[in-house]
Chain A
Amino acid sequence: MLADFGFGVLIVTFVVALYSVIAAIIGERKQSAQMVESARRAQLLTFPLLSLAAGVLIYLLVNNHFDVSFVYEVTSRSMPTYLKVTAWWGGQAGSLLFWAWLLSAFTSAVTLRKWERDREFLPWVIVVSSITLAFFLSLNIFFNENPFARFYQTIDGVQAYDFRPVGGIPITPQDGQGLNPLLRHPGMIIHPPMLYLGFVSFVIPFAFAIAALVTGRTDDRWTRITRRWTLWAWLFLSLGLVLGGRWAYDVLGWGGYWGWDPVEIAAFMPWLTGTAFLHSVMIQEHKGMLKQWNMILIILTYSLVIFGTFLTRSGVLSSVHAFAQSAIGPMFFGFIGVTFITSIALLIWRWPELKSETEMKSMISREAFFLLNNLLFLSVLVVCFVGVIYPLASELFTGQKVTVGPPYYERANGPIFGAMMALMGIAPLSAWGKSTALTLGRALWKPTIPALFIPMLAYLAGYRQVVALIGFFLVAFVVSVTLYDTFRSARARQRAQKENFFTALARLAGRNRRRYGGYIIHISMMLMAIGILGIEIFQTETQGTLAQGESLQLAGYTVEYEEVATWPDEGAGVQYTRAVVDVSKDGEYIGQLYPRIDFYFDSQQTMTIPGQRSTLQDDLYILLVDWQPVSSVGATFKIYHNPLVNWLWVGSLVFITGMLFAAWPDKDPSLRPVRVNKRAAEPSAAD
């Protein structure tokens, strides 16, 4: 009964979303403010409606309503309540509803803003966001992804139906299948919401871009309105990626954080175009250039967001044929095609009006470097896109399945990442407009010299791989340039304003938050790069089967096998197998680690939990691969030594700090319009 109510609410929301689209279009055509206002209210209504539907679903999940097939698939009686709640996005149908709910939250927030200065955007922003919302709801309602479908016994056997079929008898299973144990990790609980937040919040700048195209307001108003939205979208997407990496490192048991898996790449691709957009939009604001290009980037980002969801949700990755059979695959494909073609058609229509206001003056000006940056991000995108699509194409055209794994991506992307790092060092010191090799050289030589010491030190410390030395140099170079430029600007301010150096630094950064937030992010990327270089180039591993008291050696560590024990936890529905190993480094005892294998009764799946010892220098990562309960052979362990990997996580924290610094709303809202006016009237050269 309650499930039927939930489904009913979904249908009502769908109708309301469609109404808001139609009302917005009519209101705009007939210039009826009343009609547009009605569309806006309809759109605002979708959020409470979807919250109600979500509330019903959570109630069903928490209270073991196994007659609902989604509840049966993702929960079981033994799961704790908080996991039953997060199981909402642990399965297909629920996660689509979760997507729709987040989207309605964001679009409601954006329609609540003050619209005085750009009322003409409003109807089109509503149209774009409501169409997207209606699309996701339609998957829930019409394409077998209904989270409220219930089990009925008919002559065809037990199946899930949206409504009670004729002669159907409701069936309630005793217990559910339980959430996939891999999804019970804290990282996996926060990772999907972050990723989805990133995905849905990119819909907002896209909606404004389309509104700007339709209304012909081709100045940079749309980028200014959506600047913070874009930053937040990018923050969430980045956090989603990082959390996913941490999750993989902690629970997948392959000693790494990123495997170039198509699912990861699906989330990585919109991040690439989003990052390119964040950079190139600055040139539009400063110089009135690249307007057409920014439109292309935001259209690509939106399409890749939908495409990423499509890749992970339609089953296309496991097989092209699974895609054809799944109900939502072709629907997704159609939606991506229609929105992409419509957007591009609009762009072509407005193309002449989006011409640059100024010309490029020099090939080594900052504008040119920004363009090169965009080219590099898109190059990585091309590599990733071809890599993800190729196995599907191969299966479709030749019938042969192939794997495109890490060697392909690493070989192709490695040099591009290197070039990006070099650019990250050079670009901040280049000047807008006219710039020559001489001026750039003069600006660069000072910060380059200290950076050269780092690879030298690394060489003396025993790091001999050329790629690593180049990598370490680039890291040092970017950090050095960033600090040097900040120091130089703060000194200039100190002299001009007769301030204390630190006051000058704080005021400088406070007034140019986007620039200095960006710098913090650049440095955080370099910290992450240290971790990536460490694990990619210097990771070592060994595996062996040990009897009690025997040991394995790796990178100066000695791991001695003490014992293994197995015990069930009936309440949690898990059987634990835990090994105890003594770890010593260079002959000195440093403690015990406990690699584990957890077996989940309800889902009949195992999970390998590594024993980890983390320092800034390295990670010792021990997996229990196998064990013999009775024989004296003992247990098999796999040990990874991952140097420097923890800089990746340190960098992530710095990254969040930089993002918050750049994107945090201004403290005093009354100041904002004044600042906006000032900026619009007198574009600054400082950020």
Chain B
Amino acid sequence: MKRLFWITTLILVLSTLTVATVSAQGSTPTDDEVNAIAKQMYCPVCENTPLDVCPTTACKEWREEIRGMLADGKSEAEIKQHFADYYGARVLAEPPRTGLNWLLYVLPPIAIVAGVFVLFRALRAWSQASTSSPQRATGAGADEDEAAPSSDDEYIARMEEELRKRD
């Protein structure tokens, strides 16, 4: 019974997909459909201008090429791959995750995690040092340190104290 349910679902899903593709093939893709893909691409000539807003003739032709491919029923991934194969990875908004390109995706997180680790270690070392040697802690900077406010009232008391000192 359960199996029958899953098979029916699968067939239904597949049939909707087919219908969707057929209807996409039937009509000319709109500018919005073209731009949705062009937005994620860059032409090799106009540096740093996304393809969907680039006013040059070359970019206009590329957009028409995307329209043609959409009309042929190509998927977004296929279209991007096609352009990348012809003109190189630079047409994509991000380098593909292969080979050396992994560095781009891996280096910043490693550096940031290392930074967090170093900061955490340093803070812990500092706060332990100050708790283990209370005399040192109350030494040099003691006169500057105010006791932590345990409530609003204490905070305000401190403020008032400060104001009296200033005026």
Contact = CB atoms under 8 A, between A and B. Distances in A.
Interface in B78-121: 88-95, 99-101, 103-104, 107-108, 111-112, 115-116, 119
Given A259-B48, A286-B144, A492-B159, A401 B88 contact: yes
B137 interface: yes
B68 interface: no
Contact of A403 (B42, B55, B159, B162): B42
Contacts of B104: 386-387, 390, 404, 408
A489 B155 CA distance: 9
Contacts of B160: 492-493, 495-496
A412 B48 CA distance: 19
Among B116, B136, B163, the most chain A Cβ lie within 10 Å of the Cβ of: B163
A368 B148 CA distance: 14
B159 A489 contact: yes
Interface of A: 253-255, 259, 261-263, 286-288, 317-318, 357-363, 368, 371-372, 375, 378-379, 382-383, 386-387, 390-391, 393-394, 397-398, 400-408, 412, 431-436, 438-439, 442-443, 488-489, 491-493, 495-497, 511, 541-545, 606, 608, 623, 625-626, 636, 638, 682-686
A683 B144 contact: yes
B115 A379 contact: yes
Interface string B37-51: 000101010011110
B145 A361 contact: yes
Nearest to A431: B148
Given A379-B112, A435-B148, A359 B130 contact: yes
A253 B162 contact: no
B108 A412 contact: yes
A394 B95 contact: yes
Contact of A685 (B60, B112, B126, B146): B146
B141 A288 contact: yes
B156 A431 contact: no
Contacts of A398: 99-100
A361 B156 CA distance: 22
Nearest to A289: B141
B136 A492 contact: no
Contacts of B21: none
B144 A386 contact: no
B25 interface: no
B33 to A, nearest CB: 10
B152 A488 contact: yes
Given A404-B95, A432-B146, A442-B151, A684 B166 contact: yes
A543 B141 contact: no
In the complex, the 8 A-B pairs of residues with the closest C-beta atoms, listed nearest first: A358-B141, A360-B126, A405-B93, A543-B31, A492-B159, A433-B145, A402-B95, A254-B53
Contact of B30 (A386, A407, A544, A625): A544
Contacts, number: 202
A442 B150 contact: yes
A636 B30 CA distance: 12
A279 to B, nearest CB: 14
Nearest to A686: B162
A403 B40 CA distance: 11
A561 B62 CA distance: 26
A406 B93 contact: yes
* Interface secondary structure of B, over-half rule: helix
A325 to B, nearest CB: 17
B101 A402 contact: yes
B165 interface: yes
Nearest to B163: A496
Among A405, A408, A495, A497, the most chain B Cβ lie within 10 Å of the Cβ of: A405
Given A358-B141, A360-B123, A439 B150 contact: yes
A606 B32 contact: no
Given A387-B104, A685-B162, A545 B31 contact: yes
Contacts of B88: 400-401
A542 B52 CA distance: 11
Given A442-B152, A511-B166, A493 B159 contact: yes
Nearest to B40: A407
* Interface secondary structure of A, over-half rule: mixed
Contacts of B90: 391, 400-403
Contacts of B101: 394, 402
Contacts of B32: 541-544
Nearest to A640: B53
B164 A496 contact: yes
A407 B156 CA distance: 47
A427 to B, nearest CB: 15
A671 to B, nearest CB: 14
B17 interface: no
Interface of B: 30-32, 35, 40, 42, 44, 47-50, 53, 55, 60, 88-95, 99-101, 103-104, 107-108, 111-112, 115-116, 119, 122-124, 126-127, 129-130, 136-137, 140-141, 144-152, 155-156, 158-160, 162-167
A442 B42 CA distance: 51
Given A382-B111, A543-B35, A684-B162, A403 B155 contact: no
A434 B145 contact: yes
A85 B155 CA distance: 56
Contact of B93 (A262, A403, A434, A683): A403
17 contacts: A255-B53, A263-B48, A287-B141, A361-B127, A361-B145, A362-B148, A382-B107, A382-B112, A401-B44, A402-B101, A404-B104, A408-B93, A443-B149, A489-B159, A493-B159, A545-B31, A625-B55
A391 B141 CA distance: 48
Contacts of B107: 382, 386
Contact of A375 (B115, B156, B163): B115
B103 A375 contact: no
Given A375-B115, A431-B146, A492-B156, A363 B127 contact: yes
Nearest to B146: A685
Given A390-B103, A400-B89, A404-B104, A361 B163 contact: no
A393 to B, nearest CB: 8
A596 to B, nearest CB: 13
B130 A361 contact: yes
B86 to A, nearest CB: 14
A328 B156 CA distance: 59
Nearest to B118: A375
A608 B55 CA distance: 9
A686 B159 CA distance: 8
A363 B123 contact: yes
Contacts of B31: 542-545, 636, 638
Given A386-B108, A397-B100, 14 more contacts: A287-B141, A362-B127, A371-B119, A382-B108, A393-B100, A405-B48, A405-B50, A488-B152, A496-B160, A497-B167, A541-B35, A638-B53, A685-B144, A685-B158
A359 B141 CA distance: 8
Contacts of B115: 375, 378-379, 382
Contacts of A686: 159, 162, 166
A249 to B, nearest CB: 13
B61 to A, nearest CB: 13
Contacts of B127: 359-363
A408 B95 CA distance: 9
Nearest to B93: A405
B163 A497 contact: yes
Given A397-B100, A491-B156, A493-B163, A408 B94 contact: yes
